[in-house]
Structure 1
């Protein structure tokens, strides 16, 4: 018993820190970070379109192009492609046209993309074959899977070379009725034949599923290789040809997104087998790619681990960048092989405060990879306190900041009868007045300029972000005339009196329905579980609506549930953000393009906004190169949505990251999604600092051990006394 008590005391004393990692983990060549709330919903490159997912998707998969990690303005670089492809143009008869041919003559834009030789998929059982060349695991029967929940539990893993046909297959998947494909509407307008291919796959899928249960989880493999797609062809194993309808300069940027990353058909066949869905074996838990990392551990809502892909191609750190990068030490690793780190470990931490504390203790190398506001948050803490500033400087925290092409906005569901478009001209007029009144009342300058500075930014006056061609945002004299006015040469938010007049036009004077006298109650669908730190923001927003007499009901869910609600069109007023996919105004304007309506086509128009004139101008914009004509169209589109107010606009957020002193090569860049492959960690310094910063506090455990010893002694004495009494009674 004495030995057992000592063992318990030793165990307690040995584990008296609050590190979320195993003992000694700080000495490993691993990058540690957190993720909030739940695991990502989609890791399938065809479906994934959320910032938390990009942390994994862009490290595992490889699109043809990517972005230089250091150059600003952003510059495209080859990833899976051998080089950037310059499009050439054909007329309706297939004849080659000069590059400056008028749009009216151009029938096709052709991209011949050379694919790197020697690209290999990360190891997976889907590629494993027997001695005869037959796939080992493509014919599993019900029950064969057993209790396997990871690809690495299979005996045999294999790989193969990535070829051009894998990129063709990836483009075909955007037409599949069995996948959520958020950019299918965009791609089908440009890739020749993709729209008809959607109808074809719908028919073939329906035939295949005829007679099967509607809720069947493991649907049979729909082999897209059977049906050619006119707009995507593998000329040979290392040349991908993509044919587009007319001129579309922005296509080069789509080639830098995971939507165009290669997909092996073998994975679709493998994951379509019986039992896979029940065992959480799918693209969304176990994606495969040719990128620098692969998913090696996936514990739902708890822990994700990406390990270095043993088949990753030779790749090096850049030797050039932007002015100031060399002085900042960002070119010190010039020419060295990447990735530098062996693993990326993401642990689930539900709230912001504990994430911050773990970072301050050194247990996290960076708070969250996908959040560009952590540097802002910590910077505000630093600037508000001399003690905090001294503490941060002593620990060497790096908080690089920039102004980037990101925004946060509050939107209105266009399908909603109260805040949406409206069914009749009269209802449309009233609903527009209501949206405009709300847009005036919400004082973004106060909220995210003065109160919530840890998430700060500049109030937005439209949909086109600063920093892209044609934007006038932030320029002198440029403002949204619906929400602001010019007073003595200064742009100011319109007074509440203007909003009150609009409320009367809307039929809600004082926030009550003029016909029924009932108070106007609106629903705010928030995409996070409301923690104490988020409650202040929501309370502030409730007060903004209360200025107009409107009661705002907060309907908060976690992000995955929120996405499901939006897909069904069940949202009314919502909060959303957008991190640009590429540095062009089109990537923001398409967020309000009608055919991209989220609840209709699963696109990224979360407001489900539709305006025929806006849509017409958007289609015109797509063929325009940067120049006066494009700038004019952008201005027209901006004016339309300012008047319609499908968003309450929100703010352009500051972009700042947070790194420990021992993390190198970190630089903010919203479109650089494969940041982990460039980061380097000095594990020796980390181990030293973690030990230095987290001295064990022994006295509580010593007191506990002493208390336990006292209880033991008292119990022992009582037991001996009872034994003695029993012995005496028996004599």
Structure 2
């Protein structure tokens, strides 16, 4: 026993000494990496559901897919306002206006029947290594199987011993648009694009009628009238009418190429049962490829060895040069070899690892600055938000981005109480909008981060205006002394409510109190709900919450059975049309009996006419005049409580470079550069173990135990003496 006890104390003391002399980050949660590779460590909270580019429409999925897939166009990383530039395209697309007989029309024509967009691709763009592109000695696809038994030995992409690649061509883009038209793929753009791309709707009907069960259908068997292959690297898309904003869709992953071989490969018999599907295993030409997809643990992207030559931009905007965003101008991309994104269940855990230096940035996809972490990141100083002293000492980099977004409270314009277009109905909505103090909401629930909206167009887009002329005159007055809008008084709101037929919150004839209903999926006992009730109570209007689950809520929205509700929109592309279309009557949920974007069912003929005009016009005085009139119309009609525009803050550790965020595109990982040596130094400095309590405890135990051990040894040596 003595020997065992001694060994235990030796082990404890040795461990304590080792910890006290440890020079590495002993609590590093990240996996070991190859020191010859530059690895980025990131995180995600929301697990992706779809990785098929024709189906995915969420920002959480874009965090990964926008590094893998390449549409013809992309956004300039640094320039603001946002600017499109070629990605796989050799140059910006050529636009032609055509008459009904496909004869060219002048560029300024207003009566074109069609627009034709011609895209020329860069040569020498190759797909990532993938078994779908592997071929045998006869140049036939190696892994196309006729029955499930042939593929029994393959469960993961890594099980295939041979991979292949080939050059990107025009057929790949054409095939992807056909996949978008195929109802089997459930693309969220199928309705919108079928209205624009000539022949797309007919193709979808053919695919639906031709397919047998879920078997692979070779979409090359039929053409789409509006798609034309001109040569291996050139194709054109013909759309109905004039729609200049179509170019923005060409920068979205919906239009990223998918080779027909991949579609056939993933339809091998039995592959769907093993989740060997495109919706789980991407294949692209982008700078990175997905090598691990374990969304309950981690997702890993690695450099695509076949990625074409691509270079960091040589010009930017604003203070980009001052902030060091142009230091890598002209250098070949990407800068990192691997990105490991770890799944986190809570923002607090993600934040803790960022502060320890184990995550390079405070959040990927999400800014990760919320109510749980805001006070740990910022303090409010005389000049606004400032980093906390702790983060300031660590040289944390702060990037902010006012994303083209709008969060608002909508009125159902079909509702008999809050809907309608008569003057009394307008005044009712205006009265409610006045007392619904969005600035107070921002201060209380968003830590002051956000900007009160005056209309439907957010900052950063053409048509957005500031100052006195842009102020919503139905909700605000202009304060000349401060040069800012001032919300109209509660007394004025009461006056409007009385003129609407509800003096003191009661019907002027029946005397019944005005009770309004907010439809939501959240609990009605939350602090936010209490705050909203108090706002309306200022004018004696009662508010009740009708809480349902999300599927039921969506169904109520489609049927027009709501009264008030919270909603939001984040721009797909940086054009005012992307927000004005939210009020186009033809997109009304009830009117179109579809998943339209007009959640309020707003219907104003003059607005619709101007919307059609704005859609077809290039930026200029005529378009701006139409936009301004549309804003005036909806300010008066007040179908929304205008809410606020979002502002995001992102933090990066000091060893991360080129951290500028993009409010539209998430395909920015290729621009990121790291200093791994500095990261390791800081991780070691910030995570040194504090071992003196352990050493003190060991010493105390020694003082207590050693006397006991000595006494025990003495007793063991005692002998019984007997008389001779």
**1:249: Cα distance to partner?**
1.8
- The aligned residue for residue 29 of structure 1 is 38
**1:607 touches 1:646 (CA, 8 Å); kept in 2?**
no
**1:66 touches 1:77 (CA, 8 Å); kept in 2?**
yes
- The aligned residue for residue 483 of structure 1 is 475
- The aligned residue for residue 65 of structure 1 is 73
1:344 aligns with 2:339: yes
1:295 aligns with 2:290: yes
1:99-121 per-residue CA deviation (whole Å, 9 max, x = no partner) reads: 23x212x2322222111112112
Q: 1:411 to 1:423 in 2, by over 3 A?
A: closer
- The aligned residue for residue 282 of structure 1 is 277
**1:635: Cα distance to partner?**
2.4
Provide the rounded CA distance (Å) in 2 between the counterparts of 1:608 and 1:131: 60
Counterparts of 1:90-169 in structure 2 under 5 Å? 90-100=98-108, 102-104=109-111, 106-139=112-145, 141-142=147-148, 150-169=156-175
**Larger mean Cα displacement after TM superposition, 692-701 or 362-371:** 692-701
Counterparts of 1:227-626 in structure 2 under 5 Å? 227-371=222-366, 374=369, 377=374, 381-384=378-381, 389-402=388-401, 404-412=402-410, 419-422=411-414, 428=420, 436-448=430-442, 450-452=443-445, 454=447, 456-472=449-465, 474-486=466-478, 491-497=485-491, 505=500, 520-525=516-521, 540-541=531-532, 543-544=534-535, 548-552=541-545, 575-596=566-587, 605=597, 607=599, 609-611=601-603, 613=605, 614-626=607-619
1:100-149 per-residue CA deviation (whole Å, 9 max, x = no partner) reads: 3x212x23222221111121122222222333333333326346655965
**1:249 touches 1:625 (CA, 8 Å); kept in 2?**
yes
The unaligned stretches of length 5 or more in structure 2 are 714-724
**1:477: Cα distance to partner?**
3.3
Q: 1:387 to 1:659 in 2, by over 3 A?
A: closer
**1:497: Cα distance to partner?**
4.8
**Larger mean Cα displacement after TM superposition, 163-172 or 431-440:** 431-440
**1:151: Cα distance to partner?**
1.9
Provide the rounded CA distance (Å) in 2 between the counterparts of 1:17 and 1:250: 53
- The aligned residue for residue 90 of structure 2 is 82
Provide the rounded CA distance (Å) in 1 between the counterparts of 2:616 and 2:470: 26
Provide the rounded CA distance (Å) in 1 between the counterparts of 2:229 and 2:689: 61
**2:311 touches 2:332 (CA, 8 Å); kept in 1?**
yes
**Larger mean Cα displacement after TM superposition, 338-347 or 363-372:** 363-372
**2:25 touches 2:683 (CA, 8 Å); kept in 1?**
no
Provide the rounded CA distance (Å) in 1 between the counterparts of 2:479 and 2:322: 43
Provide the rounded CA distance (Å) in 1 between the counterparts of 2:171 and 2:628: 41
Aligned length: 692
RMSD: 4.5
**Larger mean Cα displacement after TM superposition, 484-493 or 327-336:** 484-493
SS of 1:174's equivalent in the other structure is helix
Provide the rounded CA distance (Å) in 1 between the counterparts of 2:147 and 2:271: 11
SS of 1:409's equivalent in the other structure is strand
TM-score (norm 2): 0.82
SS of 2:53's equivalent in the other structure is coil
**1:460 touches 1:650 (CA, 8 Å); kept in 2?**
yes
Picking from 649, 655, 661, the partner of 2:654 is 661
1:533-578 per-residue CA deviation (whole Å, 9 max, x = no partner) reads: x976566456545654213366687xx9999998999987655544
Q: 1:433 to 1:51 in 2, by over 3 A?
A: farther
1:317-355 per-residue CA deviation (whole Å, 9 max, x = no partner) reads: 122222532332222212211100111222222333332
1:461-498 per-residue CA deviation (whole Å, 9 max, x = no partner) reads: 111122322222x2223222443344667532233455
**1:166: Cα distance to partner?**
1.0
**2:403 touches 2:570 (CA, 8 Å); kept in 1?**
yes
Q: 1:95 to 1:708 in 2, by over 3 A?
A: farther
**2:290 touches 2:299 (CA, 8 Å); kept in 1?**
yes
TM-score (norm 1): 0.81
